[in-house]
Chain A
């Protein structure tokens, strides 16, 4: 119990710092365009748009999570509450919620971790605010650092959205389900991805006991079977031919989702 209290206290402290950091991050995204004198701005570029756009290239097709989240919201499988904003979010309320969910997600990863060495360094970005969080091995177990500049080399990268993490944190969605539905995408080496899925697919299950017990094997086959519509949509030939443009990166090695493109 004692350690639990300590943890909560520390989390609170961290949350305050966080809130400040996030307020700044958010203000930055609202600042949008720095007025330019001469040049070629198309006006709408903001730091947020640019980093979202970059993400789609650095982690090829990572913005597919945006489409997947849209589809899940429309299908009623992700709550609309997160998006039902009819007024401005002046006090960063939404960001506090997101940050709390990220902390909670970190705690769940820690609880599900099979052993101290089993967690690779993981960076997670929620795409709406482009907020990065890093999970790595600290002196006393897994450490969650919300609001880092980005992923470090060698990190396993998870791309997702606010509503998704919130749902996992609230134990209404498992990480494995989120991956199946395309609302989380993973980027790293195949063993990194496999290892992570093996260990953490059940994070978010309503029975917390599952997190420490035997884990069923997650497989691509089950992903397809569990969501036929999704599977058919994702396997649609997109027809982009990077080589024809001579400019898009080849991503054979790094994307877990590579088969979706042709």
Chain B
């Protein structure tokens, strides 16, 4: 067991040394940079209040506000300190963190963006699949259970001949199915859950009026009479406005991030030496931004 603890102990010691060194460095920097105060202004205060209210649905109390300001100050001095220490320079995690922070900023911009009604409507029209009510189906079924019949499919076909003449006819007794014989306002997903995907797929395509089949399910064969079918319809814009906005923002965010990265690359310029280019393949430098 002792060997198990050894590495931990070892690293605790290393950690302690590092921590000691860190604190010492830290102290020195505090002195060196004390002259430049970190400022919190009215804008910060307003922003803090807003964030708080959006989460808590009320204004922060005086105490709470004080706490928020404290936290913000801490964050700011820490960030300043990290910069002073040059932490971001040779540290992948810090570097990534900074990049991430910038990314958040870009994304926040998208989150705060307020599209015009026209923009939203245009987005809604361009992405119909995102904002629709799936079609619903009311139907009756007669079940032919292969467990109880020699040839359930043949029985179903024979019964279909007798039924087709009159859609009101319900004289044919099929076998009992636990789900019942009559279904109202069911969508494809629910049907698929009950009978299996193939059955659902086939039945949603049936035209109302007239017995059809046999349709195969996970349980056997069915004759199906669709009594009512509503098509998949777009949800009225007014009712899904919030969802459209959310989708718009998420699309906008992707778009903005991409544009921003392209801009950044243009701003700083990207140079890959020839061997790098060759190794990464044609168009590598430009493609990355497009992803």
Contacts and interface: CB of A to CB of B under 8 A. Distances in A.
Instruction: Indicate if A touches B (C-beta under 8 A).
Output: yes
Contacts of A249: 93, 96-97, 100
Nearest to A149: B7
Given A220-B284, A243-B103, A249-B100, A258 B291 contact: yes
Given A249-B100, A250-B100, A195 B276 contact: yes
A2 interface: no
Contact of B279 (A24, A195, A254): A195
A25 B90 CA distance: 31
A194 B282 contact: no
Contact of B275 (A34, A195, A262): A195
A120 to B, nearest CB: 13
Interface string A185-224: 0000011011101100000000000000000011111100
Interface residues of A, number: 30
Nearest to B90: A153
B279 A219 contact: yes
Interface string A25-57: 000100100100000000000000000000000
Interface in A215-262: 217-222, 242-243, 246, 249-254, 258-259, 262
A230 B4 CA distance: 41
Interface in B258-291: 272-273, 275-282, 284, 287-288, 291
Nearest to B274: A194
B221 to A, nearest CB: 36
B4 A251 contact: no
A252 B287 CA distance: 13
Contacts of A218: 279
Contacts of B253: 243
Given A190-B280, A249-B96, A31 B4 contact: yes
Contacts of B276: 190-191, 194-195
Contact of B272 (A153, A191, A242): A191
B291 A262 contact: yes
B275 A250 contact: no
Given A153-B90, A243-B107, A246-B104, A193 B279 contact: yes
B103 A198 contact: no
A249 B95 CA distance: 10
Interface of A: 24, 28, 31, 34, 153, 190-191, 193-195, 197-198, 217-222, 242-243, 246, 249-254, 258-259, 262
Given A28-B4, A191-B276, A253-B92, 18 more contacts: A153-B90, A194-B275, A194-B277, A195-B276, A197-B279, A198-B279, A217-B279, A219-B281, A220-B281, A243-B253, A249-B97, A249-B100, A250-B96, A250-B97, A254-B92, A258-B288, A259-B287, A259-B288
28 contacts: A31-B4, A153-B90, A190-B276, A190-B280, A191-B272, A191-B275, A193-B280, A198-B275, A198-B278, A218-B279, A219-B279, A220-B280, A220-B281, A221-B281, A243-B253, A246-B104, A249-B96, A250-B97, A250-B99, A250-B100, A250-B103, A251-B96, A252-B96, A253-B92, A253-B96, A254-B96, A258-B291, A262-B291
